[in-house]
Amino acid sequence: MLGDRTVARFRTSARYEQNDPKKEGINLAFSGAFARAAGNLAEVQEFRRLLEKGTLAPRDAGAPMPAVTDMSAAPFKMPRIPLSRQSIERTVGQVLSAVATIRIGGGHGSGFLIGHAGYLLTNQHVVGSAEKVQVVFANGLEVTGAVLRRDPMNDVALVQIPVRARSILPIRSDMVGRLEEVYAVGSPMDEALQATVSKGVVSALRIDPSTGIRRIQADVPISAGNSGGPLLDKFGNVVGITASHVVHERAQNLNFFIPIQDALKALRIELQSTKTSMRK
């Protein structure tokens, strides 16, 4: 039997500016602000726990992540590019050129290039159910991207843009360790803050016992809009994807990231040592 009852209360807010005068400007501003507020709510860890009906357990993530993507789908195959051995301070320009803002409706998130054929990774909660999204780079380039694959359970999505990418981020195959230095890149809060870089350390590795889903916990400062952006090691290699943060008056920098290995597995993306073209 169905019934209405309150299981939790959350408060979220957002702002949206409609700069171009339009007849329906008030409605656009309202819907834009509502969409951004809903996006902020999707990043609240307690809210996501209610949806997943599970709680992150404070123990090491040693168990493998269950793959929940349709395993009948053929894997995407792409060449594995060499890891960076230079400090991120020296390669930050190339890193920033590979990170983009993902815009949908009145809200936005972040994403990053992983393949020269225009493939980006982001969060599923950033793209939602959309088939097309706007992808905006720091140099001003704005293109329409197609959502190719998505996995709601692991909160990851694969997007392709119709532009060959010159800068892509190398992907690290091993898991980060506790106290390792990491960097988050994205567009926190407002698109005008695109290409923001923040720094921290890995606090712990967590696993949800009810789903087997792993998360990297780190104290890297993130905000709404960072979702889908890369978590990088000190050389600028991808180790994770920004997923969520705890919003509470007594919480400070309790942030969670999807291990890049788990994201690739969920989306059926295979990195190969030999050069090959990506295919569905």
Active-site positions read 125, 155, 227
Tell me 73's DSSP state. S
Give the whole-angstrom CA distance, residue 101 versus residue 31. 20
Residue 223 near residue 188 (C-beta atoms within 8 A): yes
Of 153, 204, 213, 150, which is closest to residue 180 (Cα–Cα)?
204
Contacts of 242 (CB under 8 A, 6+ apart): 110, 123, 184, 186, 222, 226, 227, 228, 229, 230, 231, 255, 257
Give the whole-angstrom CA distance, residue 110 versus residue 203. 23
Q: Find the helix packing angle between 25-42 and 45-52, rounded to 10°.
A: 70
Tell me 211's DSSP state. T
Of 83, 75, 79, which is closest to residue 274 (Cα–Cα)?
79
What DSSP string runs through 9-37?
Answer: -----------S--TTHHHHHHHHHHHHH
- Long-range contacts (CB closer than 8 Å, 24 or more residues apart) made by 175-178: 175/205, 175/239, 175/259, 175/261, 176/202, 176/205, 176/216, 176/233, 176/239, 176/240, 176/259, 177/202, 178/202, 178/203, 178/204, 178/205
